[in-house]
């Protein structure tokens, strides 16, 4: 015995006009506001004592631009918590994993992570962070926001 497939019944009137589909978004960096398809995002989550966040920000400001000329570097942000948390996020974007790894093993990495006092031959200040974790991400979607 063969079962018959019954058509779905709808109370809406049928519109036989073809409905055009919007074009798919352009791949890669042509999509406004989206990070390119090969970008990797590295987030260093640094937990500091409640009264030490300003010192962490000061130390980052002192070495601002130290990574800017590294091949494959696309951007950096230091995110300060706005609630009771004490974990700050250092967000960097890289063209690819290889660019990030090359920076980790470069002299620029070591230089950028030494204090001014160390670069001048002095003692290193005590660390600000009590712990840190490195998180790795890649863009999976997003929005460019309003154009202005």
Q: What confidence tens digit (pLDDT) does each residue in 39-59 have?
A: 999 999 999 999 999 999 998
Contact 48, 56 (CB under 8 A): yes
Domains of the chain (ranges, CATH numbers): 35-137 (3.30.70.100)
Classified as helix, coil or strand, 53 is helix
Report whether 72 contacts 111 (CB < 8 A).
no
Does pTM top 0.75 for this prediction?
no
The answer on pLDDT for 93 being more than 60 is: yes
Kind and range of the H or E element at 111?
Answer: helix 107-112
**Tens-digit pLDDT profile for residues 54-80:** 999 998 898 888 899 999 999 999 999
Question: pLDDT digit string (tens) for 104-114?
Answer: 999 888 776 66
- Judge contact between 103 and 73, C-beta under 8 A: yes
Distant-in-sequence, close-in-space partners of 38: CB < 8 Å, separation ≥ 6: 95, 96
Record the tokens describing residue 104, joined without a space: 């980790």
């Amino acid at each position: 015995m063969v079962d018959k497939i019954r058509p779905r019944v709808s109370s809406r009137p049928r519109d036989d006009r073809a409905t055009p589909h919007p074009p798919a978004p352009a791949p890669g960096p042509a999509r406004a506001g989206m990070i390119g398809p090969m970008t990797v995002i590295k987030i260093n989550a640094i937990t500091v004592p409640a009264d030490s966040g300003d010192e962490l920000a000061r130390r980052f400001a002192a070495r601002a631009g130290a990574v800017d000329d590294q091949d494959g570097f696309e951007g950096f942000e230091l995110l300060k918590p706005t609630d009771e948390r004490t974990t700050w996020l250092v967000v960097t974007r890289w063209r690819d994993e290889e660019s990030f790894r090359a920076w980790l093993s470069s002299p620029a990495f070591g230089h950028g992570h030494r204090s001014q006092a160390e670069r001048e031959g002095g003692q290193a200040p005590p660390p600000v962070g009590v712990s840190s974790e490195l998180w790795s991400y890649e863009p999976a979607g997003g929005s460019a926001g309003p154009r202005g």
